[in-house]
């Protein structure tokens, strides 16, 4: 359930309450004075919760815009076409 911030009509401190996202109430009862408190429009919680899935998505988006530049082949990399070690193959015509 998302958290909503409410501000009392009196000079009480703002308070946070959780309500279902399908039906967030416009008003709530102030826990300090019992008066009506209106729901405030809050900022979205973007970037909160740095999970490994979020890091993977960020890295994937970054690689689409600015991919890493490779200057050397990775160590131990194999050739694209395997070279034969049979000496008879050297006598074959080349394209
Ligand atoms: Zn109040």
11 Cα: distance to centroid of ligand 1 (angstroms)? 6
Residue 80 falls within a domain, yes or no? no
The domain containing residue 8 runs over which residues?
3-39
Residue 51 falls within a domain, yes or no? no
Residue 44 falls within a domain, yes or no? no
Distance of CA 84 to the CA centre of its chain: 48
Q: What pTM did the predictor assign? A: 0.48
Give the model's pLDDT for residue 12: 92
Q: Indicate if the pLDDT at residue 76 is higher than 80.
A: no
62 Cα: distance to centroid of ligand 1 (angstroms)? 47
Q: Please, what is the end-to-end C-alpha distance for the chain in angstroms? A: 68
4 Cα: distance to centroid of ligand 1 (angstroms)? 16
Number of domains making up the chain: 1
Residue 57 falls within a domain, yes or no? no
Residue 25 falls within a domain, yes or no? yes
42 Cα: distance to centroid of ligand 1 (angstroms)? 19
30 Cα: distance to centroid of ligand 1 (angstroms)? 5
Phi–psi pair at 92, nearest 5 degrees: -70, 145
Q: Indicate if the pLDDT at residue 81 is higher than 80.
A: no
């Amino acid at each position: 359930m998302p958290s909503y911030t409410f501000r009392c009509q009196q000079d009480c401190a703002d308070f946070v309450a959780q309500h279902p996202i399908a039906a967030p109430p416009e008003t709530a009862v102030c826990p300090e004075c019992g008066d009506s408190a209106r729901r405030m429009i809050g900022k979205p919680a973007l970037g909160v919760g740095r999970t490994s899935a979020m890091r993977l998505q960020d890295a994937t988006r970054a690689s689409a815009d600015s991919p890493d530049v490779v200057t050397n082949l990775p160590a131990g990399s194999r050739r694209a076409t395997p070279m034969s070690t049979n000496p008879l193959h050297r006598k074959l015509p080349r394209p």
